[in-house]
């Protein structure tokens, strides 16, 4: 909402010395938020004077243009009293016209300094100004495009133009919150200004209007819920050639609206002034009575913007004998609009149901100045006075007469009575506010207040449909007392339980991975088929079960992702593209798997039952937290310590294993095949619970070389993706303190030859089981193929450590246990001791 300060001051008599900045600050403190202050014309400095054109000699030029060599009487403004010689390229004026002349030394908006200069063979000492050069609206004061030609009686040559034209003003632009629809008008802004400074306020609504007699243009309202009030007045004998006066055009322009024609400008002016949207019809295009009704599906209407709208049965229409002529509260129809020959005008001012207007506006994507006001709530008592104001202004500025009849159909909705404890504002704000202050402030905003002991019965004013409940009154009282009066007091919650275990563990995950050299990234979770195709994820993979968005920002990424890989790989490629020799990234984030369950529509007048809540939550997709890691390119740079090396599958498995160890989880790794990993270098990760049950939590390994290339990543780039929730759930909550033996250790090494296809982990598991309880640890320290080992076989060398809890192991005990271990490994995996 843009409010010209001169207009505000016309309605409220502000105390001396109140500046525009003061006004904006105080209104912001009351809830009309300052967006910006504009100062049009303040970048225009004189001399800027009126001049009368004495002569204007057209002089054709070689370039095909014709210029006018003019002499202009500027009185004594030029210091000599002699006519001023000025070259002018415009042609919409002639000798005898009163124009605006800017003299050398002046500066026009945009820092354009005026000086006498040689042009087209003359010394041009100034400029005859156009509207746009002065920052005024095009067609200002009825001039056709070009030079501003003033009415002959506007002033005398040499008069200061600033005293004649509305060149300078200040405009406060407010951001109006949805609950303060009344402030979408000068009436409302001025009322708040009066409240802010306790200043005298002249409500523009306080004017005599003729009583309704039903003799205006006939109206039938079929839907009084959608249209509680409908008023018409008629103006006849209107001069269709009359143009808007300068002040009207200027005010509309300053308020952010474009002047169009007198009738439209008047309509808009009254909307800005009072906040009541209204409409002017060409009476001669109307067919019979105006009817307010719902549309029938399939009806069509060409709206003022020239678009054919297909109407919905829920749209509330203004119609006549010819069919629809407007969507109520949203936009009028083209067929009945004011034209250049309209001389008889039907003025409409009505009150419409906010929800109906809101839905129509949304349905037709047709937000307008009218709908913006109606959907937030307009004062229902306005239609009569607004229609009269429009009619009177039309006649005042465009001639003709207001016909005596006034049609008024309907009944404005009654204001509610709000019953509230008198001390509620004090109790909710924490400010000491006595009851008398509460009553006074409620009355100051226009409420009628009745006190009954400690209870107040409050009837809000007609322009405050937002005030419906006791807490609404609290805000009114507290904003006048001042939000700056709210004291600062810390509440005293009981002892808290701190972070949850999962919250603590998630922090630890981040710290561990950062400690492993990985940098955390945060990616958008949007994805699409192309990204999943690029990872070669099969059609039946559950990672294809993405949550589709109804209104994605990008047609390439219309889904919420099931995997963090597209995002983190894009980040990796971005780093590589920007010259990073290697990347080590990690990301934790929510992924989602679609659930095609519709949520029930629940009310809000009570808590949903547990069953209702369950049904609601069933519609919410499964959304685990995932963790992804990518390592690619240089993992260890070359340096004085020796050659560097690139990341590979083992690095990412190491990072994940290290994380599990840090979290206290037992992780088992097995070979697996899954896109987008290299089929021979992919590990499935399983956490082993306390009871021995295993849960798959994700995969780690090298990306498929094809996918590495497709994503522009370094060769052998390796990634892991885990279900972090599942990993954290498997970590022991309370680790047991260890007990360990201090007796000497006995070491035994074994080398076992197996088929290359046998996983080392299987051999190790068999050794562990076979060795029995004396085994303290087993560690693979070498894998050998080549001379001495048959083709297709490999030698695995394990170091076994044995120790008893209660004694030093006797001669041969460790060797016996080792033999047991080897025997089981042989049986399970075909291992042969070397």
Partner 1 sequence: MSGPNNEYDPVQVTPLNAEEVAAARDAALAAVEAAADLEQLKQARLDHAGDRSPLALANREIGALPPQARKEAGQRVGQARGAINQALKARQEVLEAAHEEQMLVVETVDVTLPVDRHPRGARHPLTTGAERIADVFVAMGWEVAEGPVIEAEWLNFDALNLGPDHPARTMQDTFWTSPAENHVVLRTHTSPVQARSMLTRTPPIYVVCPGRVFRTDEYDATHSPMFHQVEGLAIDEGITMAHLKGTLDHFATAMFGEGITTRFRPSYFPFTEPSAEVDLVCFVCRGTAVNEDGDTCRTCRGEGWIEWGGCGVVNPRVLVACGVDPERYTGFAFGMGIDRTLMFRHGVEDLRGFFEGDVRFTTAFGTEI
Per-residue tokens: 54: 């004495």
Compute the distance between CA of residue 11 and CA of residue 189 in angstroms, rounded to an integer. Answer: 9
Which residue, 538 or 637, has its beta carbon nearer to partner 1?
637
Minimum Å distance from CB 421 to partner 1?
11
Among positions 513, 763, 774, 775, the unique one binding partner 1 when judged by CB under 8 A: 513
Compute the distance between CA of residue 44 and CA of residue 381 in angstroms, rounded to an integer. Answer: 42
8 Å CB contact between 793 and 756:
yes
Among positions 260, 547, 751, 832, the unique one binding partner 1 when judged by CB under 8 A: 547
Which residue, 211 or 492, has its beta carbon nearer to partner 1?
492
Compute the Cα dihedral for 310, 336, 207, 394 and give only its sign: positive
Compute the distance between CA of residue 147 and CA of residue 133 in angstroms, rounded to an integer. Answer: 9
Minimum Å distance from CB 256 to partner 1?
19
Among positions 607, 739, 773, 812, the unique one binding partner 1 when judged by CB under 8 A: 607
Among positions 36, 123, 152, 355, the unique one binding partner 1 when judged by CB under 8 A: 355
Stretch that binds partner 1, among 130-138, 165-173, 452-460, 544-552 (CB under 8 A): 544-552
How many CB atoms are located within 10 Å of the residue 681 CB? Answer: 21
Minimum Å distance from CB 514 to partner 1?
4
Q: Residue 572 — φ and ψ, nearest 5°?
A: -65, -45
Which residue, 121 or 581, has its beta carbon nearer to partner 1?
581
Per-residue tokens: 99: 């124009």
8 Å CB contact between 484 and 431:
no
Stretch that binds partner 1, among 119-127, 157-165, 410-418, 472-480 (CB under 8 A): 472-480
Q: Is 168 helix (H, G, I), strand (E, B) or coil?
A: coil
Per rule CB under 8 A, is residue 515 in the interface with partner 1? yes
Per rule CB under 8 A, is residue 497 in the interface with partner 1? yes
Among positions 123, 313, 314, 548, the unique one binding partner 1 when judged by CB under 8 A: 548
Per-residue tokens: 457: 């019965």
Which residue, 592 or 697, has its beta carbon nearer to partner 1?
592
**CA proximity to 370, closest of 285, 278, 456:** 278
Stretch that binds partner 1, among 86-94, 125-133, 162-170, 581-589 (CB under 8 A): 581-589
Compute the distance between CA of residue 257 and CA of residue 269 in angstroms, rounded to an integer. Answer: 9
Which residue, 117 or 504, has its beta carbon nearer to partner 1?
504
Per rule CB under 8 A, is residue 611 in the interface with partner 1? no
Minimum Å distance from CB 415 to partner 1?
18
Torsion angle in degrees (nearest 10) through CA of 459, 460, 465, 467:
-90
Cis peptide bond N-terminal to 241, omega within 30: no
Site for partner 1 in 412-471 (CB under 8 A): 427-431, 469, 471
Give Rg (Cα) of the chain: 41
Letters for 280-319 (x = contact with partner 1 by CB under 8 A, - = none) are ----------------------------------------
Compute the distance between CA of residue 625 and CA of residue 589 in angstroms, rounded to an integer. Answer: 5
Per rule CB under 8 A, is residue 592 in the interface with partner 1? yes
Q: In what order do the strands lie in the sheet with 171-175?
A: 2-4, 171-175, 33-38
8 Å CB contact between 30 and 136:
no
8 Å CB contact between 301 and 335:
no
Stretch that binds partner 1, among 108-116, 176-184, 224-232, 401-409 (CB under 8 A): 176-184
Stretch that binds partner 1, among 9-17, 216-224, 415-423, 565-573 (CB under 8 A): 565-573
Site for partner 1 in 637-676 (CB under 8 A): 637, 639-641
Compute the distance between CA of residue 818 and CA of residue 824 in angstroms, rounded to an integer. Answer: 10
Stretch that binds partner 1, among 382-390, 448-456, 601-609, 785-793 (CB under 8 A): 601-609
Which residue, 522 or 805, has its beta carbon nearer to partner 1?
522
Per rule CB under 8 A, is residue 552 in the interface with partner 1? yes
Q: Residue 607 — φ and ψ, nearest 5°?
A: -65, 140
Minimum Å distance from CB 196 to partner 1?
12
Please identify which residue in the block is written with the tokens 């400010």: 431
Which residue, 491 or 738, has its beta carbon nearer to partner 1?
491
Per rule CB under 8 A, is residue 621 in the interface with partner 1? yes
Q: Which residues contact 565 (CB under 8 A, 6 or more apart)?
A: 535, 628, 676, 719, 721
8 Å CB contact between 350 and 231:
yes
Stretch that binds partner 1, among 76-84, 297-305, 317-325, 355-363 (CB under 8 A): 355-363
Among positions 332, 333, 582, 770, the unique one binding partner 1 when judged by CB under 8 A: 582
Among positions 36, 220, 522, 783, the unique one binding partner 1 when judged by CB under 8 A: 522
Minimum Å distance from CB 324 to partner 1?
23
Angle made by CA atoms 453, 454, 457, in degrees to the nearest 5: 85
Compute the distance between CA of residue 100 and CA of residue 157 in angstroms, rounded to an integer. Answer: 9
Please identify which residue in the block is written with the tokens 């002639």: 94
Minimum Å distance from CB 788 to partner 1?
35
Cis peptide bond N-terminal to 448, omega within 30: no
Among positions 574, 779, 807, 834, the unique one binding partner 1 when judged by CB under 8 A: 574
Site for partner 1 in 718-747 (CB under 8 A): none
Among positions 350, 516, 627, 686, the unique one binding partner 1 when judged by CB under 8 A: 516
Which residue, 105 or 178, has its beta carbon nearer to partner 1?
178
Q: Spell out a b/e string for 390-416, using b for 16 or more CB atoms within 10 Å of the CB, else e.
A: bbbbbbebbbbebbebbbbbbeeeebe
8 Å CB contact between 49 and 74:
yes
Per rule CB under 8 A, is residue 179 in the interface with partner 1? yes
Per rule CB under 8 A, is residue 95 in the interface with partner 1? no
Compute the distance between CA of residue 436 and CA of residue 442 in angstroms, rounded to an integer. Answer: 10
Per rule CB under 8 A, is residue 153 in the interface with partner 1? no
Stretch that binds partner 1, among 101-109, 149-157, 508-516, 793-801 (CB under 8 A): 508-516
Q: Residue 30 — φ and ψ, nearest 5°?
A: -90, -10
Q: What is the largest CA-CA distance in the chain?
A: 131
Compute the distance between CA of residue 115 and CA of residue 103 in angstroms, rounded to an integer. Answer: 8
Stretch that binds partner 1, among 27-35, 104-112, 445-453, 818-826 (CB under 8 A): 27-35
Angle made by CA atoms 808, 813, 818, in degrees to the nearest 5: 125
Letters for 211-250 (x = contact with partner 1 by CB under 8 A, - = none) are ----------------------------------------
Per rule CB under 8 A, is residue 626 in the interface with partner 1? no
Site for partner 1 in 770-829 (CB under 8 A): none
Per rule CB under 8 A, is residue 36 in the interface with partner 1? no
# binding residues, partner 1 (CB under 8 A): 109
């Amino acid at each position: 909402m843009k409010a010209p300060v001169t207009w505000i001051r016309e309605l409220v008599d502000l105390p001396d010395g109140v500046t525009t900045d003061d006004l904006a600050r105080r209104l912001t403190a009351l809830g009309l938020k300052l967006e910006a202050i504009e100062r049009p014309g303040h970048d225009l400095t004189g001399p800027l004077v009126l001049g009368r054109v004495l002569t204007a000699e057209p002089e054709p030029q070689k370039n095909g243009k014709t210029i006018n060599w003019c002499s202009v009487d500027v009185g004594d403004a030029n210091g000599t009293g002699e006519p001023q010689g000025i070259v002018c390229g415009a042609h919409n004026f002639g000798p005898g016209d009163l124009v605006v002349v800017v003299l050398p030394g002046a500066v026009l908006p945009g820092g354009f300094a005026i000086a006498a200069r040689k042009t087209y063979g003359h010394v041009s000492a100034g400029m005859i100004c156009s509207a746009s050069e002065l920052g005024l609206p095009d067609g200002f004061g009825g001039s056709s495009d070009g030079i501003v030609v003033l009415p002959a009686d506007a002033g005398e040559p040499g008069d200061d133009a600033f005293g004649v034209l509305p060149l300078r003003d200040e405009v406060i632009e407010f951001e109006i919150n949805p609950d303060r629809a009344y402030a979408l008008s000068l009436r409302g802004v001025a009322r708040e200004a009066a409240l802010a400074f306790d200043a005298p306020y002249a409500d523009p609504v306080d004017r005599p209007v003729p009583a309704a007699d039903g003799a205006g243009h006939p109206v039938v309202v079929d839907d009084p819920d959608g249209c509680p009030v409908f008023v018409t007045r008629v103006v006849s004998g209107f001069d269709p050639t009359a143009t808007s006066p300068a002040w009207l055009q200027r005010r509309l322009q300053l308020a952010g609206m474009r002047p169009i024609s007198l009738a439209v400008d008047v309509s808009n002016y009254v909307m800005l002034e009072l906040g009541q949207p209204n409409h002017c019809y060409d009476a001669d295009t109307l067919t019979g009575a105006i009817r307010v009704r719902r549309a029938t599906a399939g009806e069509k209407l060409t709206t003022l913007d020239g678009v054919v709208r297909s109407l919905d049965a829920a749209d509330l229409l203004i119609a006549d004998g010819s069919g629809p002529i407007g969507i109520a509260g949203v936009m009028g129809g083209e067929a009945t609009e004011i034209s250049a020959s309209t001389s008889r005008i039907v003025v409409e001012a009505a009150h419409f149901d906010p929800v109906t207007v809101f839905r129509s506006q949304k349905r037709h994507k047709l937000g307008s100045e009218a709908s913006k006001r109606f959907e937030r709530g307009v004062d229902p008592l306005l239609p009569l006075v607004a229609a009269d104001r429009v009619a009177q202004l039309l006649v005042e500025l465009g001639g003709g007469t207001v016909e005596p009849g006034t049609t008024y159909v309907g009944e404005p909705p009654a204001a509610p009575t709000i019953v509230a404890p008198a001390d509620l504002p004090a109790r909710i704000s924490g400010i000491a506010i006595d009851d008398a202050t509460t009553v006074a402030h409620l009355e100051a905003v226009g409420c009628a207040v009745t006190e009954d002991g400690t209870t107040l019965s409050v009837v809000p004013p007609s322009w405050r449909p937002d005030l419906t409940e006791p807490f609404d009154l609290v805000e009114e009282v507290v904003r006048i007392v001042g939000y700056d009066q709210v004291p600062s007091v810390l509440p005293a919650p009981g002892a808290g339980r701190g972070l949850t275990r999962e919250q603590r563990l998630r922090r630890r995950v981040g710290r561990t991975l950062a400690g492993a050299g990985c940098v955390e990234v945060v990616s958008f979770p949007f994805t699409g088929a192309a990204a999943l195709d690029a990872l070669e994820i099969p059609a039946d993979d559950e990672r294809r079960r993405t949550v589709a968005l109804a209104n994605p920002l990008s047609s390439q990424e219309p889904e919420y992702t099931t995997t963090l890989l597209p995002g983190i790989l894009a980040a990796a490629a971005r780093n590589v593209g920007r010259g990073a020799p290697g990347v080590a990234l990690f990301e934790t984030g929510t992924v989602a798997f679609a659930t095609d369950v519709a949520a029930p529509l629940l009310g809000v007048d009570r808590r949903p039952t547990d069953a209702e809540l369950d049904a609601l939550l069933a519609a919410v997709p499964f959304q685990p937290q995932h963790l992804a890691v990518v390592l690619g390119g240089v993992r260890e740079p070359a340096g004085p310590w020796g050659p560097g090396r690139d990341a590979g599958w083992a690095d990412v498995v190491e990072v994940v294993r290290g994380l599990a160890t840090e979290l206290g989880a037992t992780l088992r790794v097995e070979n697996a095949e899954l896109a987008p990993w290299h089929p021979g270098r992919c590990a499935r990760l399983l956490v082993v619970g306390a009871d021995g049950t295993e849960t798959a939590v994700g995969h780690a390994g090298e990306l498929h070389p094809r996918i590495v290339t497709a994503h522009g990543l370094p060769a052998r780039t390796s990634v892991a993706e885990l279900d972090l929730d599942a990993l954290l759930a498997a970590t022991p909550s309370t680790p047991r303190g260890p007990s360990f033996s201090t007796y000497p250790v006995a070491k035994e090494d074994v080398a076992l030859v197996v088929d290359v296809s046998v996983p080392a982990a299987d051999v190790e598991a068999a050794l562990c089981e076979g060795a029995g309880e004396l085994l303290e640890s087993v560690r693979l320290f070498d894998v050998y193929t080549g001379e001495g080992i048959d083709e297709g076989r490999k030698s695995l060398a394990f170091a076994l450590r044995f120790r008893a809890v209660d004694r030093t192991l006797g001669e041969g005990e460790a060797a016996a246990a080792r033999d047991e271990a080897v025997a089981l490994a042989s049986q399970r995996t075909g291992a042969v001791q070397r």
